[in-house]
């Protein structure tokens, strides 16, 4: 689970948020992301206390089978479709981050096109999962996660040593530079601490508790008690690991500043309006700042300013962050498509050989889908993937959150054909419209609480289409 959760986003994007300039009451992002981590922590307790007992009680292979038993086949398939969409987009956003770093800092100078880099990495992941499947993933993820944590520790130790600072001295300097604040009290900001905690909590409930890939690793544990213990231990570990990544982020900005990096701004005229772009990086011979603020910071320093040994450790850590999340996602979406949408486990007409052949074809098809999505993220070229992923999750996991909440918290049935489908499509659309109107007409900015709004609209929609006189016994 740690390997799957601590993807390239945690490894690259989280440290980059610390010194990134903001438009709020604070000049930099600081440790504001940690409020979301606290939300994650609370969310794991809810998953362990509510959803795990439900899944074990019903002895589920696919967690979306619950929706089929609670409502109907339509709900079962809709749940699976939203999982596949959510996991495919989330996984490819993480993949894009790693592919883009390898491309910009290693392969671009060699004349290798981006699409070839993406294709080769996907091919490696495909070969990695084809024969071993889930068993291969579980065995190797532990080793890969260990390399990732080793890279984190090695970079912290090197920077502290290079700057001749103790842990306490480094933290004091980061505090003076306003890199260490945890709480954003600006209500209108996307990272206002209360909505970040709440958003993080519901993101965990949705992205872990309602995610087939993550829950499959938990419900495969021999009993509920051990499964809860596994999840809560994991939740506690994330508190320390994410704090370490944020501390590393502060050290990276401090190291860059000590070696000549500067903050700067450029103003461009776009559609008749002045647009200010914040920059952080090293000046070239002409005095222009090459921007490495955000996701480019860690790789730029690791591959351009750190010793060769540490650069190698960084690459190993980066690849280690890539595989546990990417291979698991590819296997999970294939499994969900086969089990939930095609009903392959109940299909008595196909032989095992035919089923295996079909599964391989679907696996290949999703690999192509992953490639296309990576190319789309390349076109978007967002410099802070971690918050982009959370925003996308708000739209794709929201209907799952509302659907499961309605099933657990009420006893109403839904019998009208396609009514669940209509609600789960309309809710994200209405959420997008609300977000657009609020952003363009007020000072308030909707952040990670987007998933709460989407889930709530789904719940309300299901309430409106419920069968009024038909309840569970």
Contact between 385 and 97 (Cβ < 8 Å):
yes
| 201 domain-assigned | yes
| pLDDT, position 398 | 92
CA-to-CA distance for 266 and 110, rounded, in angstroms? 30
CA-to-CA distance for 76 and 66, rounded, in angstroms? 7
Identify the CATH number of the domain in which residue 268 sits.
1.20.1730.10
321: confidence class by pLDDT, cuts 50, 70, 90: low
Does the structure show a pLDDT above 50 at 462?
yes
pLDDT digits (tens, 9 = 90+) for 168-211: 999 999 999 989 999 988 888 888 899 999 988 998 998 888 88
| 158 domain-assigned | yes
372: confidence class by pLDDT, cuts 50, 70, 90: very high
| 431 domain-assigned | no
| pLDDT, position 1 | 45
Contact between 363 and 336 (Cβ < 8 Å):
no
| pLDDT, position 472 | 62
Nearest to 282 by CA among 313, 259, 255, 249: 259
Work out the average pLDDT over 96-109: 82
Between β-strands 289-291 and 273-283, what pairing exists: parallel, antiparallel or unpaired? antiparallel
| 356 domain-assigned | yes
pLDDT digits (tens, 9 = 90+) for 244-264: 999 999 999 999 999 988 888
| 448 domain-assigned | no
Q: Which strand ranges, in their side-by-side order, compose the sheet holding 273-283?
A: 262-270, 273-283, 289-291
pLDDT digits (tens, 9 = 90+) for 328-367: 788 888 888 988 888 887 777 888 888 888 888 998 999 9
| 337 domain-assigned | yes
pLDDT averaged over every residue in the chain: 85
Work out the average pLDDT over 106-122: 87
CA-to-CA distance for 352 and 178, rounded, in angstroms? 60
pLDDT digits (tens, 9 = 90+) for 54-96: 888 888 777 888 898 889 889 999 999 999 998 898 888 888 8
Percent of the chain topping pLDDT 90: 31
Contact between 283 and 9 (Cβ < 8 Å):
no
pLDDT digits (tens, 9 = 90+) for 435-457: 999 988 988 888 888 999 999 99
pLDDT digits (tens, 9 = 90+) for 419-438: 999 999 999 999 999 999 99
Q: Which domain holds residue 112?
A: 2-383
For the chain, what is the domain count? 1
Left, alpha or beta for 86 (phi > 0: left; psi -120 to 50: alpha)? Answer: alpha
Does the structure show a pLDDT above 60 at 167?
yes
Please give the residue that has the higher pLDDT: either 329 or 464.
464
| pLDDT, position 473 | 56
Work out the average pLDDT over 24-30: 81
Does the structure show a pLDDT above 60 at 133?
no
CA-to-CA distance for 321 and 407, rounded, in angstroms? 35
| 241 domain-assigned | yes
pTM of the complete model: 0.84
Work out the average pLDDT over 22-29: 78
| 68 domain-assigned | yes
Q: What three-state secondary structure class fits 422?
A: helix
């Amino acid at each position: 689970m740690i390997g799957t959760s601590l993807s390239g986003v945690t490894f690259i994007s989280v440290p980059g948020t610390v010194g990134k300039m903001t438009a709020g009451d604070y000049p930099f992002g600081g440790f504001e992301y940690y409020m979301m981590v606290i939300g994650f922590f609370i969310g794991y307790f809810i998953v362990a206390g509510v959803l795990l007992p439900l899944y074990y009680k019903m002895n589920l292979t696919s967690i979306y089978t619950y929706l089929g038993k609670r409502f109907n086949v339509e709900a079962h398939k809709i749940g699976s479709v939203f999982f596949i969409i959510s996991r495919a987009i989330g996984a490819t956003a993480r993949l894009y981050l790693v592919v883009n770093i390898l491309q910009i800092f290693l392969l671009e100078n060699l004349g290798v096109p981006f699409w070839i880099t993406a294709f080769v990495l996907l091919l490696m992941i495909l070969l990695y999962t084809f024969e071993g499947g889930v068993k291969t993933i579980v065995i190797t993820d532990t080793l890969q996660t260990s390399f990732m944590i080793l890279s984190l520790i090695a970079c912290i130790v090197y920077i502290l040593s290079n700057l001749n600072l103790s842990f306490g001295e480094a933290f004091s300097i980061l505090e003076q530079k306003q890199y260490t604040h945890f709480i954003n009290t600006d209500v209108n900001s996307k990272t206002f601490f209360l909505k970040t905690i709440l958003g993080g909590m519901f993101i965990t409930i949705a992205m872990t508790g309602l995610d087939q890939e993550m829950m499959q690793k938990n419900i495969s544990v021999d009993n509920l008690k051990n499964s809860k213990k596994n999840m809560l231990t994991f939740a506690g570990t994330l508190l320390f690991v994410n704090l370490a990544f944020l501390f590393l982020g502060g050290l990276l900005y401090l190291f860059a500043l000590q070696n000549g990096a500067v903050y700067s701004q450029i103003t461009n005229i776009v559609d008749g309006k002045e647009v200010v772009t914040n920059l952080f990086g090293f000046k070239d011979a002409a005095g222009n700042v090459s921007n490495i603020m955000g996701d480019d910071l860690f790789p730029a320093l690791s591959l351009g300013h750190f010793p060769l040994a540490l650069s190698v450790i960084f690459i190993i850590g980066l690849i280690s962050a890539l595989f546990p999340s990417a291979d698991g996602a590819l296997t999970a979406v294939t499994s969900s498509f086969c089990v939930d949408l095609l009903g392959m486990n109940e299909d008595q007409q196909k032989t095992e050989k035919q089923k295996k052949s079909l599964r391989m074809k679907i696996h290949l098809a999703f690999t192509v889908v992953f490639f296309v999505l990576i190319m789309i993220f390349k076109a978007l070229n967002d410099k802070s993937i971690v918050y982009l992923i959370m925003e996308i999750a708000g739209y794709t996991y929201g209907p799952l959150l509302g659907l499961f909440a309605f099933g657990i918290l009420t006893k109403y049935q839904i019998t009208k054909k396609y009514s669940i489908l209509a609600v789960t499509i309309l809710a994200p659309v209405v959420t997008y419209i609300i977000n657009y109107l609020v952003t363009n007409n007020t000072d308030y900015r909707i952040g990670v609480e987007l998933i709460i709004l989407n889930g709530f609209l789904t719940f309300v929609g299901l309430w409106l289409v419920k069968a009024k006189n038909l309840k569970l016994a």
